[in-house]
Amino acid sequence: QVQLVESGGGLVQAGGSLKLSCAASGRSFSNYAIGWFRQAPGKTREGVSCVDRHGESTVYADSVKGRFSISRYNTKNMVYLQTSNLSFEDTGTYYCAVEENCGNWVSRNSYIKWGPGTQVTVSS
């Protein structure tokens, strides 16, 4: 079974960038799509992006389109979320998770395994 660990979060000024990483262990990593979610204090967890198992198809929430980019490298068992032009509204804990495909990627119930998360804090 795939295990996930996120990293790369931190404190950044508005307008800055961070590259978040999702490291996966397990031989079946390439069999799954990977999604990124985020959760701000007092808010529900929301989908940010998803990449299919081959890294050929990606989707993004409207709020991050043009600013975030998701990529994956199956040979390294890694998925990345490159963020840019960050704003205070991007603050939250960012999670990566595995699912069968990105067909219903915005639904948390589609995902079968989650990482512990990495904190992103954007200061104004």
Which tens digits make up the pLDDT trace of 83-108? 999 999 999 999 999 999 999 999 99
The number of helix segments (H) and strand segments (E) in the chain equals 0, 11
Angle (CA) 98-104-106 rounded to 5° is 75
Q: What pLDDT does 119 receive?
A: 98
- CA distances to 10, 42, 54, 95, 103 from 20, rounded to whole Å, are 10, 22, 19, 10, 23
Integer Cα distance of 32 and 51 in angstroms: 9
Mean pLDDT for the chain overall: 96
pLDDT on residue 99: 94
H or E element in which residue 96 lies:
strand 92-99
End-to-end CA distance of the chain: 40
Torsion of CA 84, 96, 28, 102, to 10 degrees: -80
Decide: 108 and 114 in contact? Cβ < 8 Å: no
As a whole number of Å, the CA-based R_g of the chain is: 13
